[in-house]
Amino acid sequence: MRHNPRKRFGQNFLIDQGIIAQIITAIHPQPTDQIVEIGPGLGALTSPLLQHVSHLDAIEIDRDIVKKLRLEFSPDNLTIHAIDALKFDFSSLGNQLRIVGNLPYNISTPLLFHLSLFSAHIFDMHCMLQKEVVERMVAAPATSDYGRLSVMLQYRFDMEYVLSVPATSFHPAPKVESAIVHLVPRPSTMMNAHDDGLLSQVVAAAFSQRRKTIRNTLQRYLTADDFDRLDLNSGLRAENLSVNDFVAISNFLFHRIDQFY
Ligand code: SAM
């Protein structure tokens, strides 16, 4: 059964066996791992993963692909959830999940935020994403790539850039370069925001005009006095603040939370 790649589902299938082998080596699957693959497609990663584990769960939105996979793999080895990964309840599968996904680029950011809701159930994740997105995710403060995505994901995950993947490794070749990133949920003992929504609001406001100082972008939230009490220089820009600085600001504002919702 031939499958014509569907653009609306971001279907670019991995065909480079060398890259596939490097991804599997990076994942380093162990027989007892509970692997969950997002978007298995034609099985480029599914088959080699099943050489290391006897069973895995996969979430696939394209019903034609689901049919194909059901013919190719035994349900003893592959449980397919025919659903949109953005709506999937990952906590239903366990609490030491190893997530693997060559993610559709059009939904990669909402999907990462959806997955971050389940970080207590996740052991780690290896994701293929647009290279520029990975660079922004792992960016350090005071660099041009450091922004809202970096802060909000670094708050939840320790992340590492694993591997660059050229466009020619896929069929059809996407217009952009790709990269694999490894994400490990940060332990809950790390500095936590009292309210994640408030943290998210503050970070969004601070980066809304990245050339402006936080005195300007955060004027709805902090007075000159507040900056002093936080021991924070209001002449800085958002890109100069660490993840912990943002958490400290949102926790400082927590007792006035009613003003911001
Ligand atoms: N893993 C395969 C590979 O590496 O060749 C396919 C990768 S392809 C970039 C993305 C896959 O995710 C496709 O199979 C596509 O149908 C599926 N997909 C797209 N949107 C999805 C969604 N919202 N939920 C689950 N799967 C989705």
Q: Give mean pLDDT, residues 60-85.
A: 97
Query: How far, in Å, from the CA of 118 to the mean position of ligand 1?
Result: 20
Distance 197 CA to ligand 1 centre (A): 29
Q: Ligand 1 pocket, 62 CB below 6 A?
A: yes
Q: Report CA(61)–ligand 1 centroid distance (Å).
A: 7
- The atom number, within ligand 1, closest to the CA of 11 reads 8
CA nearest ligand 1 atom 21, residue: 61
pTM across the whole model: 0.94
Show the domains of the chain with their CATH numbers.
Answer: 7-188 (3.40.50.150), 196-258 (1.10.8.100)
**Mean of the pLDDT values across residues 43-52?**
98
Residue 1 has pLDDT above 70, yes or no: no
Backbone angles phi, psi at 202, to 5 degrees: -65, -45
Hey, whose CA ends up nearest to atom 17 of ligand 1? Answer: 39
Confidence of residue 189 (pLDDT cuts 50, 70, 90): low
Burial group, residue 151, by CB count within 10 angstroms (0-12, 13-18, 19+): buried
